[in-house]
Amino acid sequence: MNESIFSNSIPVGPLNLVVMNGCEELGDAVDRYISEIRTKREHDEESSLHFRGYCKDSYKVPVSCPRFGSGEAKGSIKASVRGSDMYILTDVMNHSITYSVNGHINHMSPDNHFQDLKRIIAAASGFAKRITVIMPFLYESRQHKRTGLESLDSSLALNELIEYGVNNIITFDAHDPRINNSIPLNGFDNFLPPYQFIKALLAKHNDIKIDNDHLMIISPDEGAMHRAVYFANVLGVDMGMFYKRRDYSKIINGRNPIVAHEFLGTNVEGKDVIIMDDMISSGESMLDTARELKEKKAKRVFICTTFGLFTDGCNKFDEYYEQGMFDGVILTNLTYRSPELKSKPYYYEADMSIFLATIIDYLNHDASIASIMDPTEKIRALVEQYNNENKM
């Protein structure tokens, strides 16, 4: 971190971190890292009023969204936020949270989480100096374009947040980053986790050779091409791509079924391969890709995705892992991962908490985040260190 950025700057306002129900694990880690960063920092004006409350053990503000027996709810903030720079962290994909409706237990859906987010924003509006929403998995972002008479829910949600008084929106690996065109006059930052991916992978294995003869990056479809191209260029290796051949005469579970995965790229025989994508939903497409690569005699297959939703559970992944179709699944901790998933031998975690804490720290000072948005130099330094420590 470049500390010179902060030596002569003052915060926008006192930092407040709101951790919504369902993302306490990530929120607590981010809160802890912000406190560690600021405790070690020295400022030219640290004795001024601008820095009152700058160094604290915790920046979290207690909030709740209690529900009535009918299922209706309200947002409540338990401490003063007047004049603060507020960051609200929410995980709209945490389905493990439950609530009662007329005596029946319901699981929280993305819609429920989004409504609770709006309740807290409404409670803070008019009091907080600035409100930033951190939504790692962008609400309804899979519906990113219209192909007929369809709603465009993600665009509607972004505009709704702006109307509620939100100043900035932070997300990670948006399904289609062009969704920010929905709010062109407002702040929208989309961060990517390639550095954390390669860091998690290299921490698990000391025998990966990062060169053109031994490693290859794979895109499972055309939508993930830009991720794979960047990763391959930074590591200096080849990339390949699968494209999905679909049967457009049928619709099954709301989509056209995949007939086959066709591969475009050089020979993968004997190479380690990394499959890059933004999410695992059911995992069907990713597992098909892994099987195809193994049939082409790839050495080891590693799956890297920002969000692991596992909407159909882990049984199919267990089966493929036991058959040797892949060797590891690298996921970030930006969304809910079930205890079952965390216990799997193939689960690797890419920790994003330090990165997220750094983002919040920079933004609270209104400092440029260009240097932390581009991880190229960090990846190259990490690879160089890895190669020096594991010379073969």
**What does the alpha-carbon distance between residue 94 and residue 73 come to, in Å, rounded to a whole number?**
18
pLDDT over threshold 90, residue 120:
yes
- Average the pLDDT over 170-180 and give the result: 89
- CB-based contact 123:80 (threshold 8 Å): no
In sequence order, the β-bridge partners of residue 106 are: 99
Instruction: Grade residue 176 by pLDDT with cuts at 50, 70 and 90.
Output: confident
Q: Where are the beta strands (DSSP E) in 83-138?
A: 85-89, 98-101, 104-107, 130-134
Give bridge partners of residue 217 from the DSSP assignment: 239, 274
Q: Is the pLDDT of residue 130 over 90?
A: yes
Dist. CA 74–CA 22, nearest whole Å: 17
Average pLDDT over residues 243-253: 74
Q: Which of 238, 300, 228 is nearest to 265 (CA)?
A: 238
Residue 47: its pLDDT value, please?
Answer: 66
Percent over 70 (pLDDT), the chain: 94
Query: Average of pLDDT values for 250-256?
Result: 72
- pLDDT at site 245: 73
Residue 357: strand, helix, or coil:
helix
How much is the pLDDT for 142?
83
Angle at 278 between CA 273 and CA 283, to 5 degrees: 75
Q: pLDDT band for 295, please (50, 70, 90 cuts).
A: very high
pLDDT at 258 > cutoff 80: no
So what's the pLDDT on residue 9?
A: 76
Closest C-alpha to 196, from 232, 226, 231 = 231
Q: What whole-number distance in Å separates Cα of residue 103 and Cα of residue 99?
A: 9
**What pLDDT, on a 0 to 100 scale, did the predictor assign at position 164?**
93
The mean pLDDT of the chain is 89
Q: How far is CA 53 from each of CA 5, 14, 111, 126, 148, rounded to the nearest angstrom?
A: 20, 7, 35, 21, 52
| CA pair distance 279, 293, nearest whole angstrom | 19
Q: How confident is the model at residue 369 (pLDDT cuts 50, 70, 90)?
A: confident
Least confident interval from 41-55, 75-89, 368-382: 41-55
Three-state DSSP class for 119? helix
DSSP state of 60: B
Residue 7 pLDDT: 67
Q: Is the dihedral of CA 138, 142, 143, 146 positive or negative?
A: positive
Tens digits of residue pLDDT in 219-245 = 988 777 888 899 999 999 999 988 777
Distances (CA, A) of 86 to 66, 161, 238, 283, 361: 21, 14, 43, 36, 12
